[in-house]
Amino acid sequence: MSNYQFEVSAFNNLIAFIIGTCIGSFVNVIIHRFPLNESVFHPRSHCRNCKSIIPWYRNIPLLSWLMLRGKCSKCNSEISVIYPLTEFLFGILLMLNNYCQSANLITISPILQKIMSGLLLSILFSLALIDYIYLWVPKSIVNVGIITGLTYQTLFMITTTNIGSLLLASEHIIAAFLGYITFLLISKIGSYIFKKPSMGMGDAKIAALLGAWLGIKGLGLSVWLSFFVSGIIVGVGLILKLIKPGQLIPFGSFLSISGIMVWVLGDKLVVSLILLKPLDFFN
C-alpha cells in the first residue's frame, strides 16, 4: 500500500469514526427515551437529573464527557459511562463498515451502499442495547428495519434486468418470511412444552429483519451464532450462579449482534471463523 493509499484509508476511517460517534450519540437518545415513550427529537438533550438543557458545545460525542469528567455542569450529577461507550463502539463499528465484506446489499452506488449499511447497523445496534437493558424489542424500530429492507429488495426487483440480481433480491424477501415463521414456530412449540412463553415475538421480527437484509445464508449463520453464543453464556452463567434457572435472556441482543457480525464480516469470513480457517479480512 502506497503512502497516498494509506493516507486516504486513514482519512476515510477517521471520518467514519467521527460520523459513527455522532450516530452513537443519537442511539443513546433512542435507548434512553424509547422505553419511556418519549420523543427522540423533543425536547433537546438535557440532564436526566436537573432537566437543564445541554448546549451543543457540551454535547460533542466522547469529548464532552471527557471534558466534563462524566458529570453534569449544572448539578454535578454523574453521567453514565454508557453514553461515551456507546458512541465509541458505534464509531468503531462504522469504521469497520469501510471494510464490509457483505455481498447481500445489491447496489450500483457505493455511497448508497454506505448509507443503507449504516442504517442497518444503527437499527441492529439499537435493538441489541435496548433488549439487553430492558428485555424489550421496540416494534417501531424493528418494523423500520423490515420495511426498509423489503422495500429496497422489491424496488430492486422491479428495476433490475439481471437474472442473478433478481434471484438474490427474491431470496431476501423469502428469507424474511422464513425467519419470522421459523421463530414463530419455535415460540409456539416452546410455549407448548414449557407451558409458558419461551421466546418473544420481537425475536421473530428481528429474524425477519435479518432475512430481509442478509438473505437465507446470512440469516442461517446469524441464528446459528445466536444460539451457539447464548448457549455458552447461559451455560457458564448457570454454573457460576450468575444466571438463575428460568431467568429471561435477551435473545434479541444475540440475534442483533450476530447479524452485525455477518453483515460486516461477510458470510465467508464468519464461516471461516467458525471452522477456524484463516481468511484475510482486508482482501
Confidence (pLDDT) at 102: 57
Query: Cβ distance 172 to 104 under 8 Å?
Result: yes
Answer whether residue 254 shows pLDDT above 80.
yes
Identify each DSSP E strand in the chain by its residue range.
Answer: none
Q: What share of the chain is helix, strand, coil (3-state, %, to 5)?
A: 70, 0, 30
- Domain residue ranges in the chain: 1-99, 101-283
Range ranked top by mean pLDDT from 33-42, 173-182, 271-280 = 173-182
The b-or-e profile of 61-74 (16+ CB within 10 A means b, else e) is bbebbeeeeeebee
pLDDT attached to residue 56 = 81
At residue 282, the pLDDT reads 44
Q: How far is CA 52 from the centre of its chain?
A: 31
Checking if the pLDDT of 262 tops 60, the result is: yes
**77 vs 47: CA distance, rounded Å:** 9
Q: In this predicted model, what pLDDT tens digit does every residue of 114-169 receive, in sequence order?
A: 888 889 999 999 999 999 999 999 999 999 999 998 888 777 767 666 676 667 77
pLDDT level of residue 8 (50, 70, 90 thresholds): low
Q: How confident is the model at residue 101 (pLDDT cuts 50, 70, 90)?
A: low
Alpha-carbon span 250 to 73, nearest angstrom? 35
Residue 186: the pLDDT is 87
Mean pLDDT score of the chain? 84
| CA-to-CA separations, 269 to 72, 231, 260, 280, in angstroms, rounded | 43, 22, 13, 8
